[in-house]
Amino acid sequence: MKLALYSTFSAAMALYGEGSGEEGDIITFNYDASFDIKNIDMNLVKNQDAIKSILNSGKAVFYDFTFDSDSIKSCADYTIRCDDEDDCKSDGLSFVAKAIAKINQATSAINIKSKGIERLNCADGMNGGCSHFCTNNECSCPSCWELGPDMQTCGPEPNKVAINCESSDMNVTIDQCVLQGQDVSKATLDDGKCTAKLEGNNWVINTDLDGCGTDFKIDDDSEIIDFKNALTMAPEIKNGLVMSRQLSLDFQCRYDTSIDDISAERTIVGGSISSGLSGSGGLSFDLTFFTDSKYDTPIDEDTRVLVGEKLFFNVAIAKEITGLHFSVLGCTVSDEKASESYDIYKDMCVDKYVGTTVNKQSDDSEIRFTYNAFQFASAKEDETREVLTCKVLLCDKKATDSVCATPATCNTSDRFRRDIAAIEVENAAIFEVQAPLPLLV
């Protein structure tokens, strides 16, 4: 059994139509819905997930999506205790239409068609479709759980479960009452070894982004990386009798890789436990200048450097993640006051005019550079504060044809090789990292 969370349940259950009431059967009204949408590329996974979240924030439940670049098709259900089918069907149409109207973009060609009903029946051989208990043709939940909008699936109450996504790990906190009756002490994450720990009244799960069997998926088009794991609990057996069902708690952290300043902590798109609790945190890269070729003593921010002096810097990931490595695609020095910029490393090729060097093309932890300090001729001040910005490509190490794994072929008769921007980047995600240079004199 999979857990599901419904943080919008309370708001959704406050909505009732004219045909609903305390009498009558629990009926699910089925609809087909389709509509066109402008100004959103629906081929991107992050846009698809955003639309799903909006549509499922009310009383109707949308599923079985088909996305085209500018149109969406899905099934939608509206479930209610109903004593007047015609009124309830009309209410369902209204709730489906209201959900589509919540999308903050121009929608058109909206088509909603009723296609049937389903009555909840505990004697249907499927437990009435209830995730937990079915009594008198009605689903119910254990303590600390609540029914979702489909009136069949139970999820932990929103304040009983939390997830926090950090730059190097994921942390999940679950109130003891949510897992009451489960032998949590024997539950494990996907590696079959890592376990949950009891801290006070909560079970706490912690895993590094590359630990405990955590898996990841890079979506280069949507510029996101998903890290996923699950806590699985075997059924409780007493005296040879199975006293509970196997339960799996899935959790995920999603990191947005479209970022302008990697010197600060990253902001994630969100973390989720099954259907979506938000977390906070993010992946982190750093760009650091050093005093010499040992790369062990960072330069003090008040240090002054002479034009022509050799500068040493590296680009490093805050924590290595097994299965990932990165390359630096390019680095640009800019002077905002002079409105000037210059590429000291472009398309993974060094620049001969400022003597750029790089120690390797890709690595799990850091890549080191040197170049000769310079000022722009248009600079009007004796001392200038320039900024170095580097573009970093994070890749799946299993992808042998990725840009990170493809040797650079720089043409010695030309400053730069092919344009990286024109390369189709697969199994990879791009960051930008930035840091101020020491004062140039």
Q: Over the stretch 266-321, which tens digit does the pLDDT of each residue have?
A: 223 344 444 233 333 456 788 899 999 999 999 887 788 888 889 999 999 888 88
How large is the greatest C-alpha to C-alpha distance in the chain, in angstroms?
86
Whole-prediction pTM: 0.68
CATH 2.60.40.4100 location in the chain: 285-440
Which one of 1.10.260, 3.30.70, 1.10.10, 3.30.1330 gives the CATH number of domain 1-156? Answer: 3.30.70
Closest by Cα among 352, 433, 429 to 388: 433
CATH annotation of 157-281: 2.60.40.3210
CATH 2.60.40.3210 location in the chain: 157-281
Give the start-end residues of each E strand in 1-132: 20-37, 61-67, 71-82, 107-119
Exposed (0-12), middle (13-18) or buried (19+): which is 249, by Cβ within 10 Å?
Answer: buried
Q: Which pLDDT score, from 0 to 100, does residue 226 have?
A: 87
In the predicted model, residues of the chain with pLDDT beneath 50 are 1-18, 20, 243, 259-281, 413-427
Q: Which pLDDT score, from 0 to 100, does residue 307 have?
A: 85
Which one of 2.30.40.10, 2.60.40.180, 3.20.20.150, 2.60.40.4100 gives the CATH number of domain 285-440? Answer: 2.60.40.4100
- Residue 118 tokens read as 């389903």
- Residue 17 tokens read as 């139509």
| Residue 108 neighbours by CB distance under 10 Å | 10
Which residue's structure tokens are 């436990």? 273
CB 285 within 8 A of CB 434: no
CATH 3.30.70 location in the chain: 1-156
